Amino acid sequence: MKKTVYGVLMAMIVGMVLGSCGKKMVCETIEIVPKPQQVTLQEGRCKVNPLRLEDKIRYKADQSLGEEAYVLEVAPKGITITSSTPAGAFYALQSLKQMVPAEAVADRNVRCVELPCCTIEDAPAFAYRGAHLDVCRHFFSVNEVKEYLDILAFNKINRFHFHLTEDQGWRIEIKAYPKLTEVGAWRKGTMVGKNWNQTDSVRYGGFYTQDEIRDIVQYASERFITVVPEIEIPGHALAALASYPELGCRGEGYEVSPFWGVFPEVFCPGKEETFTFWETVLTEVMDLFPSEYIHIGGDECPKQEWEKCPLCQKRMKEEGCANEFELQSYVTRRVEAFLNAHGRQIIGWDEILEGGVTPTATIMSWRGTDGGIAAAQKGNKVIMTPNSYCYLDYYQSRDTEHEPLAIGGYLPTEKVYSFNPYAGLTEEQQQYILGVQGNVWTEYIQTFDQVEYMLLPRLCAIAETAWTLNGRDYDDFVKRMQHMRTYFDANGWNYAKHIFE
């Protein structure tokens, strides 16, 4: 008898007995998040030692499979993983690990788990499956970033968007500009709650040395995650300007901001040395990050300083810019040309569309999906990360009094799960959607424990949209999450419990 299931059934551990192979667990059904494209249950069971899973696995190559696709066959005699790349094999292994009860791994006395025989044929819907972390508003250690990467790998997320520069702190060592971390990585205090008149007056900061960055990039690559660094150009610049005031229009009087928000003090593109700065910084960034994509920010760049700055106005005249939005477009195009000359591509927030954009820029749509839709209509590549579905710093409950302080909004897991990245696009335009990403901005997230709370389980919903896309079913997802939470517990990952209540 062969039974095909498209939805994955709720796991039932039907027995835990002491058998000849020590403590034994029997697993009846298969529950995986993100949901595989196809699961076929078969007769029979496969006995594995949960602590020595690899002993039972045979790896096979099949170049006809897609880059991240895999076939996982669990048979009485053993487990076969077939893929065309190591990434595909890695995802098969993630699925397999989710079939082994977390309790069996945690209980070191369990020597035998009986898995149901099955064939899983799986491949992701989107090539770009991202998660972002802001380490500027609050800083997280290398070990915490690695924990974050572990969570991404568990969810088959393959891009880590590392938000490294901000008004409130510059977080990456740049050898040519040491003051960026001597000065720019530190602020005098941090605003208290949502009080824009008060700071705690406690010096706050931190940064990653280049060796630490290399370590993070390596750790990510072992989990088939590409780290996409973000260097904000030309806004969100206060930490850089506090370090090198000559790069601003005013040339003096900047400090690393203890307050959240959007500030009028931005880089001066009227000065040639500003471009030298960006190119030098990006050269070091390219040395550290092999990612094809470099994120250059481009969001929330007020134009009032440029309006008053003679050098900016002169630049606009020379370059034929009709307004300051076109001046930002000039900046973006010039930085893009520099990166392209070094074999890299840019990603920018959807604001970079405003003054006109090259056809080769990739747009990250955050102010809803309108920017992404407009970009896809033009033939630009798009990553969908609309705040209305993908901003994981928003509240997960309406009962905000019983939630940790958050930036605002209301974004429960169910709404995250309901996102359709293709909505509003023709079939032809859909091909420009590279994928989906969840963003974790950390103004109100002070600890890594809280990062996890905001991330889980909502990231799992994003992962299922990005990996599975079609045939999603929220109730079925919640059932499978009951099983997933046992791994969160086993790994010591904090998570929000609303969907389980």
Q: Which is nearer to Zn ion, 269 or 348 (CB)?
A: 269
316 scored as a contact of Zn ion (CB under 5 A): no
Q: Which is nearer to Zn ion, 266 or 364 (CB)?
A: 266
234 scored as a contact of Zn ion (CB under 5 A): no
Question: 320 vs 253, 304, 324, 360, CA distance in Å?
Answer: 30, 19, 11, 22
- Sign for the pseudo-dihedral over CA of 307, 309, 310, 314: negative
241 scored as a contact of Zn ion (CB under 5 A): no
Q: Which is nearer to Zn ion, 248 or 371 (CB)?
A: 248
130 scored as a contact of Zn ion (CB under 5 A): no
What is the size of the binding site for Zn ion (CB under 5 A)? Answer: 6
Q: Do 92 and 4 form a contact (C-beta atoms < 8 A)?
A: no
What is the C-alpha separation between 294 and 300, in angstroms, rounded?
18
Positions 107 through 126 that interact with Zn ion (CB under 5 A): none
To the nearest whole angstrom, how small is the minimum distance from the Cβ of residue 316 to Zn ion?
A: 10
The residues facing 382 across adjacent strands are 363, 433
Q: Which of 213, 312, 339, 353 binds Zn ion (CB under 5 A)?
A: 312
- Sign for the pseudo-dihedral over CA of 275, 280, 286, 288: negative
Q: Which is nearer to Zn ion, 309 or 357 (CB)?
A: 309
Q: In a 3-state reduction of DSSP, which class is residue 345?
A: strand
Helix (H) or strand (E) holding 204: strand 204-205
46 scored as a contact of Zn ion (CB under 5 A): no
To the nearest whole angstrom, how small is the minimum distance from the Cβ of residue 296 to Zn ion?
A: 18
Helix (H) or strand (E) holding 314: helix 310-319
Candidate ranges 107-115, 305-313, 348-356, 427-435; the one touching Zn ion (CB under 5 A): 305-313
237 scored as a contact of Zn ion (CB under 5 A): no
Positions 191 through 230 that interact with Zn ion (CB under 5 A): none
48 scored as a contact of Zn ion (CB under 5 A): no
Q: Which is nearer to Zn ion, 258 or 270 (CB)?
A: 270
What is the C-alpha separation between 501 and 499, in angstroms, rounded?
6
DSSP assignment letter at 405: -
What is the C-alpha separation between 122 and 69, in angstroms, rounded?
6
457 scored as a contact of Zn ion (CB under 5 A): no
To the nearest whole angstrom, how small is the minimum distance from the Cβ of residue 148 to Zn ion?
A: 37
Q: Which of 270, 297, 386, 457 binds Zn ion (CB under 5 A)?
A: 270
Least Cα distance to 36 among 8, 73, 4, 64 occurs for 8
To the nearest whole angstrom, how small is the minimum distance from the Cβ of residue 258 to Zn ion?
A: 25
434 scored as a contact of Zn ion (CB under 5 A): no
Q: Are strands 78-83 and 57-61 parallel, antiparallel or unpaired?
A: parallel
309 scored as a contact of Zn ion (CB under 5 A): yes
Q: Which is nearer to Zn ion, 75 or 311 (CB)?
A: 311
The letter for the amino acid at 309 is C
Q: Which is nearer to Zn ion, 268 or 451 (CB)?
A: 268
Q: In a 3-state reduction of DSSP, which class is residue 424?
A: coil
What is the C-alpha separation between 369 and 355, in angstroms, rounded?
18
Residues of the shown chain interacting with Zn ion in the complex, contacts defined by CB under 5 A: 249, 268, 270, 309, 311-312
